[in-house]
Amino acid sequence: MKEPFLSALPIIEDIQNAGFEAYFVGGSVRDHLLGKEIHDVDIATSATPAELKGIFSKTVDVGIEHGTIIVIIQGQGFEVTTYRTEAEYKDYRRPETVAFVRNLTEDLKRRDFTMNAIAMDNNGELVDPFEGQKALKEQLIETVGSADERFQEDALRLMRAVRFVSQLGFRLEHQTERAIATHACLLKHIAVERVMVEMVKLLDGPNKSEAFNILFTSGLYKYLPSLFNEKKVIDATMKYQISSLNEDDMWLLALYLADADDHAEELKSWKLPSKKIKSLVRAIGFLNRRHLHEWTSFELFSAGRETAVLVETVYQTIQHGSLMESVTLINNRFDQLPIKSRQELAVTGNDLLSWSDVTAGPWMKELLEKIIQAVLDNDVSNDKEEIRRWVKVCGLL
């Protein structure tokens, strides 16, 4: 067994020694069987949260009402969830109450897809009552039990199915695919925050072209918050080479394709973090300018490397241009800028004040911009004394 299972192994063994069952479950087992990198290890157990707290000295309650606590060993936290069923679903959402059970198969049965319903014990032995390994081998995404019922129970699974297509490049099993189209409208019952989490993963996946194809053919896109609920956005997205684009690239591309009046509002409707919204709204400004002309040094400087690369990536995607070449070019041009941020400028507003009798005011900002422009154009070197002389000679102060 390898990391991160190895670090979590003592938890499984401590639970077993206390007379209960414990298994690795969910995404970590799936990704392990696929030979992929594993991010978070989930453990399922027959012990209740109260019983777990009797076994481990350091625990954190995160979702105790759903039977989940975090057990901390050697400074590392692991999610441990009591076997449960989700008997009652209301309004096509996650159930409010859960029933703890003592049987692993019952717990695996409530999971969304067969590939996510495999358990692995401390010896690496698998428990796979729903033929998840077969699905992995056939690269199939198939619901555990009736697809119609499973999507009606929790409509978030509609989005989860499509994001797994994007991440794994698997096909949807026939009934599962049909049921997504039939139940697409149920997505409107799901909290935006949960849809956003799946969308972000979808946008980051290498097979997002196929995922967009499914969003479109199933009609699921119509029930997304904004941007991606527009046919013209989905249509255009499918025409571009998007496989290597990341999440931010995709949001920016969608903003551009949707051509909306209020970019921030569109992004807010997805409940994206405000920092991300701010940086994307900034980026669309640069993208619009990029459509007019090549980057000026001042634009590169103002955008910063990260935004410049983001904007150039999306611009080249729209132009069907060469991504690698253009991004390398932008990086090289950025490397050659005499200053890369305002902090690197050798003078500050206080310097300007000390050089003149005039009181502080908007002129300082204007002059600083002129100085930055001159430094970027190599008209003056980034040296305090030289800048002072240049400012005097040009009569700017």
CB of residue 212 to ligand ATP, shortest distance in Å = 19
Select 68 or 237, whichever has its Cβ closest to ligand ATP: 68
Residue 132 or 225 with smaller CB distance to Mg ion: 132
> Phi, psi (5° rounding) for residue 98?
-125, 155
Q: Which stretch binds Mg ion (CB under 5 A): 10-18, 22-30, 52-60, 321-329?
A: 22-30
Tell me the H-state helices in the chain. Answer: 5-17, 27-33, 49-55, 104-109, 132-138, 147-153, 156-168, 174-183, 192-204, 208-218, 231-239, 247-258, 263-268, 274-290, 297-303, 305-318, 323-336, 349-355, 362-376, 384-393
42 annotated ligand-binding residue = yes
- CB under 5 A: which stretch of 32-40, 51-59, 105-113, 196-204 binds Mg ion? 32-40
Strands 171-172 and 140-141: parallel
Q: How far is the CB of 113 from ligand ATP (least distance, A)?
A: 7
Among 68, 116, 166, 316, binds ligand ATP (CB under 6 A): 116
x-or-dash string of contact with ligand ATP, 5-44, rule CB under 6 A: ---------------------xx------------x-x--
Q: Among residues 5 and 223, whose Cβ is nearest to Mg ion?
A: 5
How crowded is residue 127: how many other Cβ atoms within 10 Å of its Cβ?
Answer: 17
Is 304 annotated among the ligand-binding residues?
no
Tell whether residue 154 is among the known ligand binding residues: yes
Non-local CB neighbours of 92 within 8 Å, separated by 6+ positions: 152, 153, 154, 155, 186, 189, 190
* Subset of 321-360 contacting ligand ATP (CB under 6 A): none
Judged on CB neighbours under 10 Å (0-12, 13-18, 19+), 171 is middle
- Pull the structure tokens for residue 221: 């896109």
**Residue 376, CA distances (Å) to 99, 147, 206, 268, 340 in order:** 65, 60, 38, 36, 9
Residue number with CB closer to Mg ion (40 or 383): 40
The closest of 362, 340, 341, 354 to 387, measured between CA atoms, is 354
Tell whether residue 77 is a contact of Mg ion (CB under 5 A).
Answer: no
Tell whether 111 is in a known binding site.
Answer: yes
Stretch 184-203 residues interacting with ligand ATP (CB under 6 A): 201
Between the alpha carbon of residue 384 and those of residues 49, 299, 310, the distances in Å are 64, 23, 33
Cβ-based neighbours of 98, under 8 Å, separated by 6 or more: 65, 66, 67, 84, 85, 86
Q: 397 vs 86, 285, 366, 367, 380, CA distance in Å?
A: 73, 32, 11, 9, 16
Q: Is 27 in the site for Mg ion (CB under 5 A)?
A: yes
Q: Is residue 157 at the binding interface for ligand ATP, with CB under 6 A as the rule?
A: yes
Residue closest to ligand ATP, measured at CB: 27
- Rounded to whole angstroms, the Cα distance separating 174 from 148 reads 12
Known binding residue 93? Answer is no
Q: Which segment (37-45, 92-100, 203-211, 389-397) binds Mg ion by CB under 5 A?
A: 37-45
Among residues 116 and 176, whose Cβ is nearest to ligand ATP? 116
With respect to ligand ATP, which residue has the nearer C-beta, 26 or 67?
26
Cβ proximity to Mg ion: between 40 and 369 the closer is: 40
The reply on whether position 206 binds Mg ion by CB under 5 A is no
Provide the minimum distance between the beta carbon of 249 and ligand ATP in the complex, in angstroms, as a whole number.
20
Binding-site residues? 27, 30, 40, 42, 111, 154, 157, 160, 163
**Interface residues with ligand ATP (CB under 6 A)?**
26-27, 40, 42, 111-112, 116-117, 154, 156-157, 160, 201
**Interface residues with Mg ion (CB under 5 A)?**
27, 40
Binding-site residues for Mg(2+)? 40, 42
